[in-house]
Structure 1
Amino acid sequence: MAQDRVEAVERALTVLEAFDSPQDHFTLADLAQVTGFYKSTLLRLLASLERYDYVQRGQDGRYRLGHTPVRLARRHLPSRQLAAWIQPVLDSLAERSGETAALLEVGMGHAECRLVTLPEASLRHDLRPGMRWTVANDDEPALELPGGFMLCRSLDAWSDGLPLWLSLSGPAGRLPRDDARHHLDATLAELARRPTDDAERGTQ
């Protein structure tokens, strides 16, 4: 109903809709042209959206989507079902290798731990879901670990286009890197042998 409308909220949502575009970054002038709002209005709206990380402003002054829309999208049921499908894989990898196995999501210059299985050893990489770090290249999401290592493999073939990676990490010297690579490759080979229909993966 018309009386239920909140104009400021609708304007903010109109700004967010502008980012539903192949274009990754927008100048203030770009957003003014797309939304039809005055720049002074846009600056106020963008300040609020930036405060809650719906948008981010780069050093060049251009705007892009922040992390909050991605975080909220993870609550969608298919993401939870994908997590249920991959958790046993992490459990098996951690048990075989004796190291920390994790599912990472990588994008917009950051990597974030989504799921993790920790080994029983007291000396381990204590990675936790929600931990995030900056990456220079989305194709190389490994975290630099003083006195340790992290190796990663892309899960593009099994993740429905989501930027997901499988990682194995732990203290240096306990698990040789060649053995760690072998464990990751064996896990990918196991995934390749699994049925990839919707029922098996639990996706809609």
Structure 2
Amino acid sequence: MAQDRVEAVERALTVLEAFDSPQEHFTLAELAQVTGYYKSTLLRLLGSLARFDYVQRDEHGRWHLGHAPVRLARRHLPGRHLATRIQPLLARLAAECGETATLFEVEDGVAECRLVTLPEASLRHDLQPGDRWAVTDARDPRPALPGGTMVCEALPGDALEPPMWLALSGPAGRLDRRRARAALVDALASLAAGPGGDARETSP
């Protein structure tokens, strides 16, 4: 309905849609051609989008997407491929160790739980996808857990992507750190071997 529309917002979204293209960088003239907007209108829209980091301007005056769209996309669950590979590993870890098994990501000093499998035990570390905690040391991203502990191992990955970690966490008096670390290392080896690399991934 007409009363539900905000023209300025729709114009800004039209500009963002222009970047849904194999072409990564656009001059102002190219954006004007794609959107049909005057350059003066585009500059105002791009200025607002740039302030919120939806777009950025490079040293050559060309425009490209900023970090905000990627940041928002990461608020969703991991991609289907990642979830398909990781979730069975988490289920296996939780069943074998009786502790909470987690995949979390660290970016800009904040860790965020992406996938998790909880053990059947009533006394456990309750985590849910989307839970976050501050990280002061990128080499040790574990949260403070009064009465509990976490063991984690980093996933190998692209240096351009935020680091991800597999973790087991639970009551300090119950979680066997040596056993937990060995289980995580074994899980990472299974992951590196690829589909079918470890029969336990597909075992009932």
Q: TM-score range by the shorter chain?
A: 0.5 to 0.7
Superposition misfits of 4+ residues, deviation over 4 angstroms: 5-15, 73-76, 157-162
Amino acid at match of 2:73: L
Give the CA deviation at 1:189. 2.0
Identity of aligned residues (%): 46
Larger Rg: 2
1:82-138 per-residue CA deviation (whole Å, 9 max, x = no partner) reads 112210010001111110001101111111001100000000000111101111133
Aligned to 2:84: 84
Give the CA deviation at 1:75. 4.8
Aligned to 2:170: 170
CA RMSD of aligned residues (A): 4.0
Aligned to 2:29: none
Report the Cα distance in structure 1 between the residues aligned to 2:102 and 2:186, rounded to whole angstroms.
15
Give the CA deviation at 1:176. 2.0
Give the CA deviation at 1:72. 2.1
SS at match of 2:71: helix
Indicate yes or no: 2:98 matched with 1:121. Answer: no
Amino acid at match of 2:71: V
TM-score (norm: length of structure 2): 0.61
TM-score (norm: length of structure 1): 0.61
Unaligned runs of 5+ in 1: 22-34, 56-63, 197-204
Indicate yes or no: 2:128 matched with 1:133. Answer: no
Moved more, 152-161 or 94-103: 152-161
Amino acid at match of 2:184: L
Aligned to 1:179: 179
1:149-182 per-residue CA deviation (whole Å, 9 max, x = no partner) reads 1111111249994522111100101022112111
Aligned to 2:31: none
Aligned to 2:32: none
Indicate yes or no: 2:119 matched with 1:103. Answer: no
- 1:19-98 pair list within 5 angstroms: 46=51, 49=52, 65=67, 69-73=70-74, 75=76, 79-98=79-98
- Check 1:126–1:108 CA distance in 2 against 1; reply closer, same or farther (3 A cut): same
Count of matched residue pairs:
160
- Check 1:71–1:83 CA distance in 2 against 1; reply closer, same or farther (3 A cut): farther
